[in-house]
């Protein structure tokens, strides 16, 4: 990558024959809540559909204004005025347009014009007559007009990995970016662990043995940086994985036992999107009762939280990994992915599984934005058409809404989409 970001190529095992085609370009845009940033990534793709090979080229980020941050808080959407939402949807589109303009210019100068701008994360949950749906908070039509590039958004209208319940499509992008294509015999299934506000994971089967993904699995493991941030603000307990300890400290095992027990009770029943709220409350209460001042050292505090994270991840992987797809490798992305202490505790709880960094930049931003671009390619290739079992609808449908760009760009998009259409689906129905 440019702009000081290490170059990353998600191409395990070399370039397959099906990827030997002309390159296409897309820009991914995503909102990263923890850092309050909108990030972008210019991505090159070879191949089509679910067999593409992706290569991020460069990225940019911008800070989100406080007013937009409040609107992106899903709890505020119900109370926001329609006029306010309309105004900030336009403002957010302007922010995105300014963010991606240098990427568009670079692509035009050095490569080819991006086909689409793919937007994820800039939405908010809304309960409509008892049904959860996601409402886009970026005016895609205005963004397309400002940039001239076709915009794809609202991927959360359905989901390959979550039964059409409106969750974001993380497992599909993880499979595209991290699925092994080496063809080496044996267990080549991976799990991708993302450390963000919530620690989440995806089970990624081998791409060498699956031309299309089998049933994809993506799940949350435990509260992550959101929890450590609350504890830092509440008690002044600094949490830094990068701290170097002269002697490895011991964790407070009774607290770890209590916290993981609370988490396991939550996992045993149906939970909302705020499923970890009760666990966070329990942890805060325990620390108040324990008296955080009695931690023997900063090292003990850090080790206690790391132990909780690692044990929770191991438990979640054991509970959610299909028996038919045992994993042989855990790929760490997001925050602290290169930290030796974090990796060591995971190895303790996951013996026999190779654990390595996903070679991602320290910020989660490039990962999320690149995943958004991958979703754009898949939408244009009509690779997100789902079965009724996966979406909960009566018939298959494509995921993601399209806002046309200027005529020349839109014609290019239509040409790409036409190449992917089958006899049973017209271009009109796909758009």
Give pLDDT tens digits for 389-429: 433 444 444 567 889 999 999 999 998 888 766 544 444 44
Pairing of strands 401-403, 150-153: antiparallel
- State the angle between helix axes of 277-290 and 253-267 in degrees (0 to 180), rounded to the nearest 10: 160
24's tokens: 């296409």
Count of residues for the chain?
Answer: 431
Kindly report the number of other CB atoms within 10 A of residue 418's CB atom. 11
125 forms beta bridges with: 134
Assign a CATH topology to domain 17-187+365-430: Nucleotidyltransferase; domain 5 (3.30.420)
Kindly report the number of other CB atoms within 10 A of residue 271's CB atom. 14
The pLDDT score that the predictor gives to residue 123 is 60
Average pLDDT of the chain, as a whole number: 73
204 forms beta bridges with: 190
The pLDDT score that the predictor gives to residue 20 is 41
Number of H helices, E strands in the chain: 13, 13
pLDDT band at 75 (very low <50, low <70, confident <90, very high): very low
State the Cα–Cα distance between residues 49 and 53, nearest whole angstrom.
10
pLDDT band at 71 (very low <50, low <70, confident <90, very high): low
In the predicted model, what is the mean pLDDT of residues 226-251?
65
Give me the residue spans of the domains in the chain: 17-187+365-430, 198-357
The reply to whether the predicted model has a pTM over 0.85 is: no
The pLDDT score that the predictor gives to residue 406 is 94
For 291-340, how does the pLDDT look when each residue is reduced to its tens digit (9 = 90+)? Answer: 655 566 667 777 888 899 999 999 999 988 888 888 889 988 877 767 77
374's tokens: 């991958």
Task: Give the C-alpha distances (Å, rounded to integers) separating 20 from 17, 181, 206.
Answer: 6, 15, 20
Q: How does DSSP classify residue 302?
A: H
Residue that wins the pLDDT comparison between 243 and 147? 147
Q: Which helix (H) or strand (E) holds 266?
A: helix 253-267
Radius of gyration of the chain (CA): 22
Assign a CATH topology to domain 198-357: Nucleotidyltransferase; domain 5 (3.30.420)
Q: How does DSSP classify residue 243?
A: P
Q: Which helix (H) or strand (E) holds 354?
A: strand 354-357
């Amino acid at each position: 990558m440019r702009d000081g970001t290490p170059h990353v190529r998600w191409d395990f095992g070399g370039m397959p024959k099906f990827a030997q085609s002309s390159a296409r370009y897309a820009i991914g845009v995503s909102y990263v809540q923890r850092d309050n940033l909108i990030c972008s990534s210019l991505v090159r793709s070879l191949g089509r559909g679910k067999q593409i090979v992706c290569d991020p080229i460069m990225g940019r980020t911008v800070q989100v204004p406080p007013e937009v941050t409040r609107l992106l808080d899903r709890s505020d959407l119900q109370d926001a005025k329609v006029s306010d939402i309309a105004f900030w949807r336009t403002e957010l589109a302007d922010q995105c347009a300014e963010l991606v303009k240098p990427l568009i210019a670079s692509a035009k100068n050095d490569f080819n014009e991006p086909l689409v701008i793919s937007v994820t994360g800039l939405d908010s949950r809304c309960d409509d007559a008892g049904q959860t749906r996601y409402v886009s908070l970026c005016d895609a039509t205005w963004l397309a007009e400002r940039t001239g590039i076709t915009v794809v958004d609202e991927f959360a209208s359905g989901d390959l990995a979550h039964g059409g319940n409106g969750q974001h499509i993380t497992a599909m992008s993880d499979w595209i970016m991290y699925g092994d294509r080496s063809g080496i015999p044996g267990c080549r299934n991976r799990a991708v662990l993302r450390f963000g506000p919530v620690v989440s994971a995806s089970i990624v089967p081998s791409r060498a043995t699956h031309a299309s993904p089998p049933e994809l699995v993506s799940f949350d493991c435990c509260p992550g940086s959101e929890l450590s941030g609350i504890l830092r603000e509440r008690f002044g307990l600094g949490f830094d994985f990068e701290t170097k300890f002269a002697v490895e400290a011991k964790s407070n095992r009774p607290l770890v036992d209590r916290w993981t027990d609370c988490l396991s009770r939550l996992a045993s029943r149906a939970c909302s999107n705020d499923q970890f709220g009760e666990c966070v409350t329990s942890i805060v209460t325990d620390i108040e009762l324990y008296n955080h001042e009695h931690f023997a050292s900063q090292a003990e505090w850090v080790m206690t939280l790391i132990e909780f994270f690692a044990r929770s991840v191991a438990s979640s992987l054991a509970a959610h990994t299909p028996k038919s797809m045992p994993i042989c490798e855990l790929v760490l992305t997001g925050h602290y992915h290169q930290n030796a202490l974090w990796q060591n505790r995971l190895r303790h709880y996951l013996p026999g599984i190779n654990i390595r960094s996903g070679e991602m930049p320290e910020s989660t931003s490039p990962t999320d934005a690149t995943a958004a671009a991958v979703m754009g390619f898949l939408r244009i290739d009509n690779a997100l058409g789902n079965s009724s079992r996966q979406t909960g609808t009566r018939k298959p449908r494509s995921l993601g809404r399209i806002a046309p760009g200027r005529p020349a760009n839109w014609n290019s998009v239509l040409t790409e989409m036409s190449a992917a259409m089958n006899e049973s689906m017209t271009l009109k129905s796909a758009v």
